[in-house]
Amino acid sequence: MSQDTQIRPPAEVEAPPSPSFLTNVWRSSGKTTGVLAGLIILVVYLSITQPIFMTWGNITNIVASNSVVLVLAVGATFVIISGGLDLSTASAAAVTGMSYGMLLQHGMSAWVAVAGALAVGLLLGIVNGVLISYVKISFLVVTLGTLSVFESAALVMSQGKTINVFSIEGFQPIYNLVNGKVAGIPYLLIFDVVLVVVAALVLRYTTFGRGVYALGSNREAARLNGINVARTTLSVFLIAGLAAAVASLIQVGRLTGASPGIDSTLLLTVVAAVLIGGTAYTGGDGGVGGTVLGVLFLGVIQNGLTLSDVSTFWRGTVNGVVLIVAVALGVARDRGWLRFNRGKTPASS
């Protein structure tokens, strides 16, 4: 190379345009943006059209009406993030509720009856978890089968009759928890907040929680990284069983009776709340915060329908349509079909 040859500095490459503000908001808020925006719009609309909507009495009614769904949805969040699905959760709640009612009916103390119901919930979770994680049967097959078994068991336990527990002394602690208040704030609201915070911390900041996300993202990669896949799978179904037991106690506390019947829309509402809240149906992504938004979104819709004198028969239709739309939007977003600003790619030299 001659000394006269000059070395030219590299040509400057134009930097790609920075993302717009809306794009940054979309990325930072993740999959909860849509449901949060929808919830805000609903609240504003109902506040204008239904003066009673924003009253404290109606707000506490929304909390009480959706606490069962919230507890079941928190348990379902763990299962779905891990890449599974529990179709038997509503039936398990019926069995644990009947167990609680029967224990009270046979003279057991309040705490023995509660402990018994929780133990039954854990047992039902173990049944699902063992069959799925160790026997290696598909979670759809197992939970579809146990849905039918648990539903039948709840009916057999009392010959299809509801157990009235209102006059039983041991029922009072649960009744007071579900219906009582402190300084005007329902105990149930405080319980829901504590439950959500604990579940969120477990998912985000514990080794177990990280294992649940890893399991849903890639089971084989999780196994190669030292995660006990079978034990983690069993654990999430144990959590779902425990959630079913807690939900059943709340349900009995609200109705003052243990019923073997199952709300036909309960399972759909629980799954819809989790998926609407941004948890990926394929697993590996989501969180309890989004699930809370999903429960509130569906709960506000149902409350709005009631205040507007719309027949409750439309509840299943609304939940189903919202679920399909939410999952469709999630798929569109994941595939890059929903973008506020695509930007321009720099020209190649």
Residue 349 lies inside a defined structural domain of this protein: no
CA 112 to chain centre: 28
Label residue 285 left, alpha or beta by phi (over 0 means left) and psi (-120 to 50 means alpha).
beta
Q: Which residues contact 200 (CB under 8 A, 6 or more apart)?
A: 287, 288, 289
What domain range is 136 assigned to?
33-332
Q: How far apart are CA 241 and CA 112, in angstroms?
A: 18
Residue 132 lies inside a defined structural domain of this protein: yes
pLDDT band at 203 (very low <50, low <70, confident <90, very high): very high
Residue 299 lies inside a defined structural domain of this protein: yes
CA distance readout (Å), 98 to 45, 76, 90, 225, 238: 40, 21, 13, 42, 19
- Dihedral over alpha carbons 236, 242, 243, 244 (to 10 degrees): 110
pLDDT band at 250 (very low <50, low <70, confident <90, very high): very high
Residue 313 lies inside a defined structural domain of this protein: yes
Q: Is 245 in contact with 68 (CB distance < 8 Å)?
A: no
Q: What is the pLDDT of residues 82-104, one digit of tens each?
A: 999 999 999 999 999 999 999 99
CATH code of residue 328: 1.10.3470
pLDDT band at 322 (very low <50, low <70, confident <90, very high): confident
Residue 281 lies inside a defined structural domain of this protein: yes
Residue 86 lies inside a defined structural domain of this protein: yes
pLDDT band at 30 (very low <50, low <70, confident <90, very high): low
Residue 230 lies inside a defined structural domain of this protein: yes
Domain total in the chain: 1
Q: How far apart are CA 289 and CA 152, in angstroms?
A: 34
Label residue 284 left, alpha or beta by phi (over 0 means left) and psi (-120 to 50 means alpha).
left
Residue 162 lies inside a defined structural domain of this protein: yes
**Ranges 33-37, 41-45, 82-86, 110-114: which has the least confidence:** 33-37
